[in-house]
Amino acid sequence: MSPSRSAQRNVRDVVFVDGVRTPFGKAGEKGIYAGTRADDLVVKCIRELMRRNPSLPADRIDEVAIAATTQTGDQGLTIGRTAALLAGLPRTVPGFAIDRMCAGAMTAVTTTASGIGFGAYDVVIAGGVEHMGNHPMGAGADPNPRFMSERLVDPAALNMGNTAENLHDRFPAITKDRTDAYAAASQAKLAAAYSKEQIQQDLVPVATMKPGQGWALHTTDEPPRPGTTVADLAELRTPFRAHGRVTAGNAAGLNDGATAAVLASAEAAEELGLPVKMRLVSYAFAGVEPEVMGIGPVPATEKALRNAGLGIEDIGLFEINEAFAVQVLSFLDHFGIADDDSRVNRYGGAIAVGHPLASSGVRLMNQLARQFEEDHSVRYGITTMCIGLGMGATVIWENPHHADYQSFAADQATTATTEGAAA
C-alpha cells in the first residue's frame, strides 16, 4: 500500500548545534595517546557534548554515528554503538560505524543529516576517531590483487604520498617553494588562533596514564610547530620520490584524535533550546582518478555548488583539509583563489594541527562555526577534503548570524504555519 500524500514528509532543515574534539596527538609510542584507547577518546567527546548542552535530554538522541578508517580492535565492534553505551547514553539510543577514509566524520554527518532531513531522526551525534598509533594507516588491509593485475588503478594510488607527488606532476605551477610557503603559513595561522583562544573552545581535556610517567592532562594539540619557516621546510627530505616535492613539513602527519558533533532538525533545536551554529545547505561526494586523489575536492565542490544553486563567489569562508599542501593549492588554483586568500583556513589547517583521518571532518566544521560567530558578514562557507582511493567531499553551510539568514528563517516559519493551517 502506498503512503498517502498527507503521510509523506517534507525535507526539513538540518542545523549544526555543537561540536568538540580531543586535542590531536602524534601517533606512536612517544605520542600523548600511546596507551589510550580510541573508543575512550570518542567517549570523552560525547560526554562533553552532553555537558555543554544540558537542555538536550539523552533519550532524545536518535542515533550515534562514529567513523573510523581501521575498524578493528579498539576502533571496531560497531564503535558508534559501543561508544554510546560507554558514554552513558540510554540503551535505547542506537549507533553504527562508518568508513570513508579521511571523510569518515564528514560522511557520518551527511548520512545522519539526511536522516534528519527525511524525518527519521530529530537529534543525532556524529563524529569520528583515528588512533594511528594503535592502527597505522593500511594495517591489516588486503587490497585485491586485481587492482594491480588488471591495472584498475595506478600503483601510486595505494600510497597517499605518491598521489601527492603525482599532483605536482599534473600541475607544475605548484612548486615545492609554493607548498612550503603555504605550510609555513598554516603553522603561523594556527599559532595566531591559539594566541586568540579561537581553538581551545572546542577542545575536550583528556587525562592519560603512562607507566613510569604517571598521569598527564592534555589541553592543547601536540603536532603544531609554531615558528616554522620556509627555510626550515626546505631542508626536509622527500620520502616518496628522489628529488620530489612532498615532505613531512608540507603534509599532515600521522595523528591520534576524536571528534563529535550534535546535529538536529531546526524544529527540534528550537523546541529543546539548542544553539544553531550553522545550517546545512548542500553536500556532495565525487570520484576522481585514484592516483591523483588530492584533486577530489574540486568536482565535489562543483557538484555541491550546483545542488545549492550557488557559485564559488558566494562562498565567504573555506575550511579545506590539508592532507597535503599541493592538494589545497590545486583546489585554489582551479577556482582562481590566491594562496594567501584570507577566506581560506583562517585558523590554520591539518599541516599544523594534525589529521587523524576519519575524525577530521568535524574539526573543519567546528572551525567554520567559530568563524561564522566572529564574522557575521559571511553567509556561506564550505568544508571540503580529499579522500583516499580517489574521492572528494564538500559540505556547504550557512551562517545563522548573517542578516539574510534571519529573513530566510522567518520565511520558513511563515511557510510552515501556512502549510499547517492548510492541512
List 135, 355, 401, 402, catalytic entry: 355
pLDDT > 60? residue 3 = no
Helix residue ranges per DSSP H, 235-359: 266-272, 297-308, 325-334, 350-353
CATH numbers and ranges of domains, the chain = 14-134+153-397 (3.40.47.10)
**Is 355 labeled as catalytic in the residue annotation?**
yes
Output the DSSP codes for 370-403: HHHHH-TT--EEEEEEEETTTEEEEEEEE-TTSH
What phi, psi does 21 have (nearest 5°)? Answer: -155, 160
List 135, 218, 386, 401, catalytic entry: 386
List 102, 168, 218, 402, catalytic entry: 102
Close Cβ partners of 41 (under 8 Å, ≥ 6 residues apart): 22, 33, 129, 131, 206, 256, 257, 258
User: Model's pTM, two decimal places?
Assistant: 0.94
Give pLDDT tens digits for 318-327: 999 999 999 9
- For 11-22, what is the mean pLDDT? 97
Q: How far apart are CA 89 and CA 46, in angstroms?
A: 9
Give pLDDT tens digits for 227-267: 999 999 999 999 999 999 999 999 999 999 999 999 999 99
Give pLDDT tens digits for 67-90: 999 999 999 999 999 999 999 999
- For 389-410, what is the mean pLDDT? 89
Share of the chain above pLDDT 70, in %: 94
pLDDT-based confidence at residue 4 (cuts at 50, 70, 90): very low
- For 170-179, what is the mean pLDDT? 97
Arithmetic mean of pLDDT over the chain: 94
- For 137-142, what is the mean pLDDT? 86
Share of the chain above pLDDT 90, in %: 87
**Is 45 labeled as catalytic in the residue annotation?**
no
